[in-house]
Structure 1
Amino acid sequence: MSTTTRLTMLPATLLLVAGLALGATTVARAQSEPVNAATALPGAAESLDNPYGLKDILQHGDLVSKGVLGVLMIMSLGTWFILVAKLLEQRKLLREAKAVGTGSTFWKSGTLQKGTEGLAKEGAFRFIADTAIEASKRHEGVLAGVDLSSWITTSLEEANEDVEHRLQKGLAFLATVGSTSPFIGLFGTVWGILNALTAIGVAGQASIDKVAGPVGEALIMTALGLAVAVPAVLGYNWLVGRNTSALHHVTTFGSKLRAMLLAAPATA
């Protein structure tokens, strides 16, 4: 099942789960005993801690609930770490692209070797330049039978693929989180509804205090699953677009190097 199909199924699934939760809560309110008038005094609710929030899940949740919460937390931390790391990587690459743009000092150097020495040592453009120069110098022996243009082009294509592979690292994790975290949250939701029905069966009546906790836990899991998925999906699409722009600069730079090396190999 594709990611688009799974995301299309989410609204119907969420409506079903929300309907179950509201139904259980409504029955509980209808059958619960009237609230004592003394507890309805102003400020009485404020003096009580919320027993149905995220804190209660951490303190009193079962192993499954804590496990779902832990998985979602790991996914969220991994997503934001990758987003920040890839943003810094792309910003560095785009700064390097300006250093080799038309009219830059790189193209005004006496030789390509001198221009390459001015580039960042661990940068993508330095890697492309070194690959092109090395390919032009090592066109000898068995390789002498291969056309120089084809040999340089093949070498640059391999270098471009290597740069593309580095840029795409981590994106598969974002795609996985975006497509699976809502369903992990829904699993926690279904588990919470199951706990609510179990509490009703054990108590023999659908009192609000027996149902509110598991139902609240279920809805929190749904919200957390969506909160993890949305940044992952948006970040994935955003990074893919920026990668396309960065790779365009890399391939354009490689094409210029190839033209220069073929025109005057001695300038390398």
Structure 2
Amino acid sequence: MPTLESLLSPGLRYGLEHGSLTCWIICGVLALLSIISWAVILSKRMLITRVHKANLSFLREFRESNHPLELFQKREHHEFAAFYHIYHAACREMAWYLLGEDEPGETFAARLQGAGRITPSQMSAVQNAMERSVAEAALRLEARMAWAATALSAAPLLGLLGTVWGLLDAFSTMTHTDASLAALAPGVTTALVTTVLGLLVAVPSMLGYNGLVNRIRGMVVRLDNFASELSAALDRAFVDHRFTNETLPSMGSLGAPSMPAFSGVGAGPLHVFAARA
């Protein structure tokens, strides 16, 4: 069975064998950044997969319900479904405007049958509640993503720092020893090890991070689409779009227009003609 040492290239093995303290410190930091980035990426992928399955389950129940507020009335709770949190926020706001309460009671169904409709301005408040819930869900999905982004951007820079530092140490030996290739080889090889490790940390993590970002964007789009679907269902069921017949005021009720009085001083041609007459 191949060992880890046999999988490394001869140059990388040689550089690690002659690694300095600075090289090992930077390699340790790179390993820590790799663990952080992959921990965030894998945990987020698992979370998004779980949320997606819960969303599909809730969406199926919502579309099979007989009434937009049926699931709200049953008090069903879907913890991992972001669709449920959007639905619950909208239903609470809608129930407040319809019945004056934001949680379904024992007489909720009976009172809902006798309730009227809400105005479009009140429906705007319901839509605002859905938008806030969508924004909160997006923030939860994007939480801790900054840690992975920081690890990705810092890994190549740390590798470059280790390379520059190692080259400075290698060339500083030229003043004390014979400046031959054999004398410079250990220092130069050790210096290049950090750049290689930095790229090995950054490149795979970047691929996983970009794939995760695309999944989060797709999830946010689906949240917006569900909010639009829910808004349309609530609008059809509970919003009164009839306009009140408001008559415009008559010209007589506005009064006669007042004309400014002109004096003879500085009068125009009309006043001069009147004076001659």
State TM-score, norm by structure 1: 0.68
Does residue 1:157 correspond to 2:115, yes or no? Answer: no
Instruction: Choose the corresponding residue for 1:52, options 14, 26, 32.
Output: 14
Counterpart of 2:203 in structure 1 is: 230
Counterpart of 2:26 in structure 1 is: 68
Cα distance, 1:51–1:250 mapped onto 2, change above 3 Å: closer
Q: Secondary structure at the match of 1:147?
A: helix
Question: Which one has the bigger helix percentage?
Answer: 1
Counterpart of 2:53 in structure 1 is: 95
State TM-score, norm by structure 2: 0.66
Structure 1 stretches of 4+ moved >6 Å: none
Q: Does the CA contact (< 8 Å) of 1:52 and 1:212 recur in 2?
A: no
Gaps in structure 2 of 5+ consecutive residues: 1-11, 101-117, 240-277
Taking the aligned partners of 1:198 and 1:51, their CA distance within structure 2 comes to: 23
Counterpart of 1:23 in structure 2 is: none
Taking the aligned partners of 1:56 and 1:93, their CA distance within structure 2 comes to: 48
Counterpart of 2:71 in structure 1 is: 115
Q: Partner amino acid for 1:156?
A: M
Q: Secondary structure at the match of 2:97?
A: coil
Counterpart of 2:115 in structure 1 is: none
Q: How far 1:257 sits from its partner (Å)?
A: 1.6
Q: Partner amino acid for 2:175?
A: G
Counterpart of 2:97 in structure 1 is: 139
Q: How far 1:170 sits from its partner (Å)?
A: 2.5
Q: Does the CA contact (< 8 Å) of 2:37 and 2:152 recur in 1?
A: no
Q: Does the CA contact (< 8 Å) of 2:159 and 2:196 recur in 1?
A: yes
> Which has the greater radius of gyration?
2
Counterpart of 1:244 in structure 2 is: 217
Q: Does the CA contact (< 8 Å) of 1:191 and 1:218 recur in 2?
A: yes
Does residue 1:83 correspond to 2:30, yes or no? Answer: no
Taking the aligned partners of 1:85 and 1:51, their CA distance within structure 2 comes to: 33
Q: Secondary structure at the match of 1:194?
A: helix
Q: How far 1:56 sits from its partner (Å)?
A: 4.5
Q: Does the CA contact (< 8 Å) of 2:37 and 2:148 recur in 1?
A: yes
Q: Does the CA contact (< 8 Å) of 1:54 and 1:217 recur in 2?
A: yes
Q: Identify the range of structure 1 (248-257 vs 113-122) with the bigger mean alpha-carbon deviation.
A: 113-122
Instruction: Choose the corresponding residue for 1:148, options 122, 131, 134.
Output: 122
Taking the aligned partners of 2:129 and 2:203, their CA distance within structure 1 comes to: 39
Counterpart of 2:82 in structure 1 is: 124
Cα distance, 1:253–1:145 mapped onto 2, change above 3 Å: closer
Does residue 1:191 correspond to 2:165, yes or no? Answer: yes
Taking the aligned partners of 1:70 and 1:114, their CA distance within structure 2 comes to: 56
% identical aligned pairs: 28
Cα distance, 1:55–1:160 mapped onto 2, change above 3 Å: farther
Counterpart of 1:259 in structure 2 is: 232
Taking the aligned partners of 1:188 and 1:107, their CA distance within structure 2 comes to: 58
Does residue 1:206 correspond to 2:180, yes or no? Answer: yes
Gaps in structure 1 of 5+ consecutive residues: 1-49
Taking the aligned partners of 1:71 and 1:193, their CA distance within structure 2 comes to: 19
Taking the aligned partners of 1:221 and 1:137, their CA distance within structure 2 comes to: 61
Q: Does the CA contact (< 8 Å) of 1:129 and 1:257 recur in 2?
A: yes
